[in-house]
Amino acid sequence: MLCREGRGSTRRGSHLVMSEPNEQASVGDVFKPGQKVRASGIYKCDSGCGHSYSTNVKGHTFPPMDDGCSGQGWKLESKTPAGD
């Protein structure tokens, strides 16, 4: 049975939580340049050569890897709270 009724979603207006189940990221996830930033935090290139990128803005896109960087993407090192 795949059909499930979405009960329990109360909508009160005063307490609106912005939760986007498909827009999350976990430490260790790797994102390609040009992908949308899903979580604010500190990212490092996955080749381990030391390049890092930090953002506190969700919805930005990841920058291209540096010249000479052998990494394929940005790996989430640690998350930081957004909007602080």
Answer for which of 39, 71, 74, 75 binds Zn ion (CB under 5 A) is 71
DSSP letters spanning 8-70: -----SSS-----TTS---TT-EE-TTSBP-S-EEEEETT-SS-EEEES-TT-BPPPPPTT--
Joined together, the tokens standing for residue 17 give 């939580």
Q: How far is the CB of 4 from Zn ion (least distance, A)?
A: 43
**Window contacting Zn ion (CB under 5 A); options: 9-17, 25-33, 51-59, 75-83:** 51-59
Q: How far is the CB of 57 from Zn ion (least distance, A)?
A: 21
Which residues contribute to the site for Zn ion (CB under 5 A)? 45, 49, 51, 69, 71
